């Protein structure tokens, strides 16, 4: 622990008699405040009193908290490289870079803590400055809400995360999820590279690890049984029982191949309807034909509403079979990550990958208005927005 402790001791010494930016001062002050048991509080109050209100307001106006999300996502990718790589010097480079990403989130937490102490000495911020502070806190909250359920990405860094966590004052540790969440789940990493003969005591007792293992098993060993030709024919003819229809819907919601097969049947029906509607060669013949009823067991046509359109992706609200889902569809071959939260602070919905992008099941289309939060990252494009459905 001596190396990390020495680093923070050096940051405390930098509070006295050194010229630094407003943000740098706040981060250093917050680092000391959140580790006061080990570092003491020398230099904290003079450093805060030296910061004027105009300086704080200018600092707040220049913040770009959205960049922190990209930093953490990159840190997650680098942490995975630590686990899946061959070790050695390259792994150490990945580890160092990933930990710097986590430290960036920690410095933001320190700045918030120092800002709170500054207001205790100088009085609360007012007007536009107060709004900027609220926006900064909200942006950090959105980032945390999106990434806390994905804390397993940082498990390969656990030895170093524990070191950082233990330097924090006890009351700060749980709040610093980037250092503390899943910090004892080291055994899970072993299962990422090879099957294990038996589960360790931790993997048996940790509910989060068991859930991760169940999800991994579903990916590694997907159900072998696709819809048979007979089931597809009976579906097309409307001859499935309610129980069979339910199984078809459940399977096709997770199986891309079978969903495409059912979609092809629907496209065929539309082509037939269009051909029949054009018989006679007149517009009257096409429009006077009464719409045909859906066959029993067939899928209802979906209705799509464009919620958001960006250069690199589109977001659709899709209503189908009395259910509603959100579809985030990348453009121009882009890759993207997305998360949907029905309740703040709760885990995000599980995305269902498909040929059009990532789909999120929002539940039954009951007609009542509900709300959720969407977070999307696609290349340089970022989106954070609430929506109703």
Going along the chain from its start, the domains and CATH numbers come out as: 2-183 (no CATH), 191-220 (no CATH), 229-288 (no CATH), 303-388 (2.60.40)
- Residue 329's alpha-carbon distances to 314, 353, 363, 375, in angstroms, are 5, 10, 19, 13
Averaged pLDDT score across all residues of the chain: 83
Query: What pLDDT was estimated at residue 259?
Result: 80
Range of lowest pLDDT (227-236, 294-303, 375-384)? 294-303
Of 151, 149, 4, 156, the closest CA to residue 78 belongs to 156
Q: How far apart are CA 290 and CA 276, in angstroms?
A: 11
**Region 99-123 average pLDDT:** 96
Given a cut of 50, is residue 293 above it in pLDDT? no
Given a cut of 90, is residue 266 above it in pLDDT? no
* Pairing label, strands 357-364, 352-354: antiparallel
Confidence of residue 71 (pLDDT cuts 50, 70, 90): very high
Range of lowest pLDDT (270-279, 298-307, 363-372)? 270-279
Of 269, 315, 310, the closest CA to residue 292 belongs to 269
Q: How far apart are CA 215 and CA 79, in angstroms?
A: 20
Given a cut of 70, is residue 294 above it in pLDDT? no
The DSSP 8-state label assigned to residue 43 in this structure reads T
> Taking the model in full, what pTM does it have?
0.58
Confidence of residue 279 (pLDDT cuts 50, 70, 90): very low
Q: Which residues pair with 304 in a beta bridge?
A: 318
The edge-to-edge listing of strands for the beta sheet with 313-320 is: 303-309, 313-320, 323-330, 357-364, 352-354
Query: What pLDDT was estimated at residue 84?
Result: 81
Q: How far apart are CA 317 and CA 306, in angstroms?
A: 6
The DSSP 8-state label assigned to residue 332 in this structure reads T
**Region 277-302 average pLDDT:** 42
Range of lowest pLDDT (72-81, 106-115, 158-167, 343-352)? 343-352
Confidence of residue 51 (pLDDT cuts 50, 70, 90): very high
Q: Where are the alpha helices (DSSP H) in the chain?
A: 2-13, 22-33, 36-39, 44-49, 53-61, 66-84, 88-122, 127-147, 158-167, 170-173, 177-180, 187-193, 201-205, 207-220, 229-237, 242-252, 256-277, 283-288
Task: Quickly list DSSP for 180-238.
Answer: HTTTT-THHHHHHHS--SS--HHHHH-HHHHHHHHHHHHHHS----PPPHHHHHHHHHT
> pLDDT tens across 204-226, in order?
999 999 988 887 775 555 454 67
Confidence of residue 109 (pLDDT cuts 50, 70, 90): very high
Burial label, 239 (beta-carbon count in 10 A; 0-12, 13-18, 19+): middle
Percent share of the chain, pLDDT over 90 = 41
> pLDDT tens across 83-108, in order?
887 777 888 999 999 999 999 999 99
Given a cut of 60, is residue 41 above it in pLDDT? yes
Q: Which residues pair with 320 in a beta bridge?
A: 323
Region of 182 on the Ramachandran plot (φ > 0 left; ψ -120 to 50 alpha; else beta) = left
Higher pLDDT, 344 or 156: 156
- Residue 101's alpha-carbon distances to 76, 79, 105, 262, in angstroms, are 9, 10, 7, 44
Q: How many residues does the chain have?
A: 389
> pLDDT tens across 136-192, in order?
999 999 999 989 988 999 999 999 999 999 999 999 999 999 999 999 999 999 888
Backbone angles phi, psi at 194, to 5 degrees: -160, 150
Max CA separation in the chain (angstroms): 91
Most confident of 6-10, 83-87, 228-232, 260-264: 6-10
């Amino acid at each position: 622990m001596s190396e990390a402790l020495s680093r923070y001791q050096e940051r405390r010494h930098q509070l006295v008699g050194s010229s630094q930016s407003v943000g740098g001062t706040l981060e250093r002050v917050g680092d000391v405040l959140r580790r006061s048991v080990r570092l003491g509080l020398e230099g904290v109050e003079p450093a805060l009193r030296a910061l004027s209100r105009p300086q704080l307001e200018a600092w707040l106006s220049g913040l770009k908290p959205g960049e922190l999300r990209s930093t953490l996502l990159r840190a997650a990718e680098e942490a995975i490289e630590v686990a899946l790589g061959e070790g050695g010097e390259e792994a150490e480079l990945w580890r160092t870079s990933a930990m710097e990403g986590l430290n960036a989130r920690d410095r933001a937490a320190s700045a918030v803590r120092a800002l709170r102490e500054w207001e205790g000495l100088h009085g609360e911020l007012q007007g536009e400055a107060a709004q900027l502070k609220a926006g900064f806190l909200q942006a950090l909250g959105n980032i945390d809400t999106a990434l806390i359920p994905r804390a397993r990405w940082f498990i390969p860094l656990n030895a170093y995360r524990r070191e950082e966590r233990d330097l924090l004052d006890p009351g700060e540790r749980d709040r610093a999820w980037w250092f503390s969440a899943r910090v004892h789940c080291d055994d899970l990493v072993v299962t990422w590279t090879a099957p294990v003969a038996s589960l360790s005591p931790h993997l048996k007792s940790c509910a989060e690890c068991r859930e991760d293992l169940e999800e991994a098993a579903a990916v590694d060993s997907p159900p072998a049984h696709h819809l048979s030709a007979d089931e597809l024919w009976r579906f097309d003819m409307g001859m499935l029982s309610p129980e069979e229809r339910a199984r078809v819907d459940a399977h096709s919601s997770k199986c891309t191949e079978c969903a495409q097969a059912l979609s092809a049947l629907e496209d065929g029906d539309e082509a037939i309807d269009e051909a029949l509607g054009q018989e006679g060669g007149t517009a009257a013949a096409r429009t006077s034909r009464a719409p045909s009823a859906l066959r029993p067991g067939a899928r209802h046509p979906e209705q799509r509403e464009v919620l958001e359109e960006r250069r690199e992706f589109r977001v659709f609200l899709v209503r189908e079979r009395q259910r509603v889902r959100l579809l985030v569809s990348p453009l121009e071959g882009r890759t993207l990550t997305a998360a949907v939260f029905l309740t703040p602070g709760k885990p995000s919905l599980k995305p269902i990958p498909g040929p059009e992008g990532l789909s999120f099941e929002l539940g039954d289309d009951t007609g009542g208005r509900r709300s959720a939060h969407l977070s999307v990252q696609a290349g340089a494009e970022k989106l954070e927005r609430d929506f109703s459905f």
